[in-house]
Chains A and B, each alone.
Chain A
Amino acid sequence: MRMAYVVLTRLVGVAILVQFYFAAVGAFDRPQEDDSYSLHSINGMVVIPVLVLLATATAALLRAPGKLIGLTVAPLGLVVVQVLIIVLGNAVSGGADGDTTPAGLAILALHAVNGLVTMAVAGMAARRARELSKRPTAEVAPA
């Protein structure tokens, strides 16, 4: 179980790394289409959340400390913020089709910053998960 937890938190990290790659695929795809970001959409809205949920459930079953469970699930909250940034930025710009307004763009560009934060948090969770797995078994009550 502890091994599964470590592997899942690492997979979350890998999925986020791949997410950056898919973002670049979208950015460099020509001609630029809605489709350009389809890999990014699906990885971000399905793969990463599912991995985070699995990792979190594993952490909870392991009776990991509350702080670590929170750290494990945090990337999911940040992914939701990613989507919210897009929705809000477009709403402020007056729709996703028109030109962006400076205010809308200011919000939209936070997508990149929050992406890095998500990666950092996931990395921290993976490191803590590994530390936990190295502790003597007695300290962690297996489920």
Chain B
Amino acid sequence: MNASQLAAVDLVVAFLATAAWIGAAVMLGTGRLLLARALCALAVTVSLGRVATTVALAAEGWWFAQEKVTLTLPLLLAGGVTAAVLAGPRVFGGARPAAGRAVAGLLTAGYAAAAGLVFPLLIGYPATWSAALLTVTLVGAATLITWRAAGLAGTGGVARAGTALVALAAVVGAGLAFVPGDTVDSGGVPSRLAASRARPVSALRGPTEPAGGGTVRRYELTARQATVTLASGRTVAAWTYNGQVPGPALTATEGDLIEVTLRNQDIDRGVTLHWHGYDVPNAEDGAPGVTQDAVLPGQEHVYRFLANQVGTYWYHTHQVSDRGVRLGLYGTLVVAPRGAASTGLDLAIPVHTFAGEVAFGTHDRADVRETRPGTSVRLRLINTDSTPRRFTLAGTPYRLVAVDGNDLNRPGELSRTGLRLPAGGRYDLAFTMPDGPVALLAGDDLMTGLRLSPDGSAPAVENTANWPELELTRYGSPASGEFGPDSRFDRHFTMVLDRGVRLSGGPKYAHTINGRAYPATPTQIVRADDLVRVTVVNRGFETHPWHLHGHRVLVLTKDGRAPAGSPLLLDTFDVRPGEVWEVGFRATNPGLWMNHCHNLSHADLGMALHLTYEGVSSSFHDGHS
């Protein structure tokens, strides 16, 4: 059982404990002593069960158990002891103290047990002093009211002391809630932002000349609303670059200078171009409010950067990105190696969901292509949605030769395997066209996808739903690199991802990083040339595809184990519920960068922060990423 399933079990156990304590109180109050006795025994048992689930969670990592160890279990213990003292003699002994007293004791335990259920759902990681004191306040207040109703509170000093303590917890807890948190996180090393001598982000532009042997690739993209027609004839109201979805396919050869002029015709909230996975100079990154102002209707912006990374990438708007990308503001960017002429069939396939229906490019029904046997085929899969997507390739063995644009080391042959592609990620699949047909499916759906067939007829396709999923960290062969899990890192950032209600910036059920939601998240600070380690922990129940702008990260460990296969250099990695990933990067691209969840609706609900280099400052303000 992984940490996420353990956390779910813990919630169920906490629910049972709450229900059993309160149920016992109700049974006792209504004079059903035997039932009360049974429920008390159940309550004690499941309460002890919470100790077991907490220990198991702590073994998966302190983050998974923090609020249970520091807050909800001690509360439960206190509640249980109270119940034992007040109700024990009445329920199990021959004693006959007032029933009201015993009922109040059992209810107290019920309130304490409820905290263990409600806190992780409503507040999430971590239990801060403020949140803990306010929780104690609520449980304490409920207890006092109950005791008063039961006539227990009339005992002078004890009641006054209890009321005073609860009031104190309330005041201190509420006061602490207004203490502003850290605005920076320097990764365990003292750091300062030299604001006076800071270089502005706008100075970190790309070059204006191509590298030796390269040419200038000029593109003009105009963002506008349009109705696009998919292959099936279905029309979709879309936000487009140049009236088409996906936007124009940008291509270049290694060493070229890519120059893109972006204009906005009628997207009222503005647009930008972000080069996903491309480590461009900071001012070319297209993060509104961070590296530029959003391009509003009638305005334009020019992006320039060197095509110095070979492989499969994509571009998309970063302004109101959840809605913008969903509605079609994206396209492909493929850079070919210099001097290696592409032969055979080379397809970049952005897979996107339009109003609930999956399309490969614009093909929302199976796209059949006649392909001669012996043709060398490369399929570049791009997941432009906000959730992961499963792909299967039937009819031929193949290799997964590149992930996120980066070649894998000695990738082995695959067949009858499912590939799970994170949101924003890319997989390059390579094979030689066999004599029979080949089918590429998304989500094992037989109605959509790509078919390559020697005679151009639509082939029958087998059901791929039961094919096991490839574990990427065990695929390919290890190779030594500049650094690894055992290297000495200059900085270490930890991001624990969870959910909780947050009030800053409008009340929302936020996606949080270390308990904070953007824009209240602290900025991570690095110094140029630092070797940086980042730990990402998913305490929630949803997948978080993590994406740092301007840098590719090397996977150091996943759930504590170093990859046994090829080194994995990624720009988007899926941290699934209960998983812990450690990644590393060398800070060689100065600037102010977004660091966020690429489920863009999660980013909208707070799961984003900034990473800045010492000595860099931004002068842009009005963006909405």
Hey, which bits of chain A sit against chain B, CB under 8 A?
A: 30-35, 38, 41-42, 45-46, 53, 57, 60-61, 63, 66, 69-70, 77, 80-81, 83-84, 87-88, 90-91, 95-99
Cross-chain contact A91 with B4 (CB below 8 angstroms): yes
> B599 contacts which chain A residues (CB < 8 A)?
34, 97
Cross-chain contact A87 with B121 (CB below 8 angstroms): yes
Q: Mark B101-114, 1 if CB is under 8 A from A, else 0.
A: 00100000000001
Q: How many B residues, CB 8 Å from partner?
A: 47
Cross-chain contact B322 with A91 (CB below 8 angstroms): no
> B8 contacts which chain A residues (CB < 8 A)?
87-88, 91
> A98 contacts which chain B residues (CB < 8 A)?
387-388, 390
Cross-chain contact A69 with B149 (CB below 8 angstroms): yes
> Dominant SS at the B interface?
helix
**Complex Cα distance A96/B148, Å?**
44
> B543 contacts which chain A residues (CB < 8 A)?
95-97
**Complex Cα distance A105/B513, Å?**
29
Could you list some 7 contacts between A and B, CB below 8 A? Answer: A31-B327, A32-B356, A33-B326, A35-B601, A87-B11, A88-B12, A98-B390
> A38 contacts which chain B residues (CB < 8 A)?
508-509, 605
**Complex Cα distance A32/B209, Å?**
43
Cross-chain contact B501 with A46 (CB below 8 angstroms): yes
> A46 contacts which chain B residues (CB < 8 A)?
501, 507
Residues A42 and B501 in contact in the complex (CB < 8 Å), given A83-B121, A95-B577: yes
Residues A80 and B12 in contact in the complex (CB < 8 Å), given A34-B602, A90-B541, A91-B541: no
Q: Mark B134-177, 1 if CB is under 8 A from A, else 0.
A: 00001001000110110000000000000000000000000000
Partner of B509, one of A42, A63, A69: A42
**Complex Cα distance A70/B542, Å?**
34
By beta carbon, the residue of chain A nearest B326 is A31
Residues A34 and B387 in contact in the complex (CB < 8 Å), given A60-B146, A91-B5: no
By beta carbon, the residue of chain A nearest B423 is A97
Q: What's the least CB distance linking A103 to chain B, in Å?
A: 13
**Complex Cα distance A83/B29, Å?**
29
Query: Does B118 reach chain A (CB closer than 8 Å)?
Result: yes
Known: A77-B18, A80-B114. 16 other contacts (CB 8 A): A31-B323, A34-B599, A34-B602, A35-B322, A35-B605, A42-B501, A42-B509, A61-B145, A87-B121, A90-B541, A90-B542, A95-B4, A95-B541, A96-B542, A97-B387, A97-B542
Cross-chain contact A87 with B356 (CB below 8 angstroms): no
> B602 contacts which chain A residues (CB < 8 A)?
34
Q: List B residues 485-527 near A (Cβ within 8 Å).
A: 501, 507-509
Cross-chain contact B355 with A30 (CB below 8 angstroms): yes
**Complex Cα distance A34/B542, Å?**
12
Q: Mark B96-132, 1 if CB is under 8 A from A, else 0.
A: 0000000100000000001001100110000000000
**Complex Cα distance A66/B29, Å?**
8
Q: What's the least CB distance linking B464 to chain A, in Å?
A: 14
Q: What's the least CB distance linking A108 to chain B, in Å?
A: 12
Cross-chain contact B5 with A81 (CB below 8 angstroms): no
Cross-chain contact B508 with A34 (CB below 8 angstroms): no
**Complex Cα distance A70/B30, Å?**
12
Partner of B501, one of A45, A61, A96: A45
Kindly name the residue among A66, A95, A97, A98 whose own CB sees the greatest number of chain B CB atoms within 10 A.
A97
Q: What's the least CB distance linking A123 to chain B, in Å?
A: 20
Query: Does B443 reach chain A (CB closer than 8 Å)?
Result: yes
By beta carbon, the residue of chain B nearest A91 is B8
Cross-chain contact B322 with A33 (CB below 8 angstroms): yes
Cross-chain contact B149 with A99 (CB below 8 angstroms): no
Q: What's the least CB distance linking A50 to chain B, in Å?
A: 11
Query: Does B429 reach chain A (CB closer than 8 Å)?
Result: no
By beta carbon, the residue of chain A nearest B503 is A46
**Complex Cα distance A46/B605, Å?**
16
Query: Does B614 reach chain A (CB closer than 8 Å)?
Result: no
Cross-chain contact B145 with A60 (CB below 8 angstroms): yes
Partner of B12, one of A83, A84, A99: A84
Cross-chain contact A97 with B15 (CB below 8 angstroms): no
**Complex Cα distance A87/B149, Å?**
35
By beta carbon, the residue of chain A nearest B147 is A60
Query: Does B369 reach chain A (CB closer than 8 Å)?
Result: no
Q: Mark B6-29, 1 if CB is under 8 A from A, else 0.
A: 001001100100110010001001
Cross-chain contact A80 with B118 (CB below 8 angstroms): yes
**Complex Cα distance A95/B579, Å?**
12
Query: Does B576 reach chain A (CB closer than 8 Å)?
Result: yes
Query: Does B293 reach chain A (CB closer than 8 Å)?
Result: no
> B507 contacts which chain A residues (CB < 8 A)?
42, 46
By beta carbon, the residue of chain B nearest A36 is B601
**Complex Cα distance A77/B23, Å?**
12
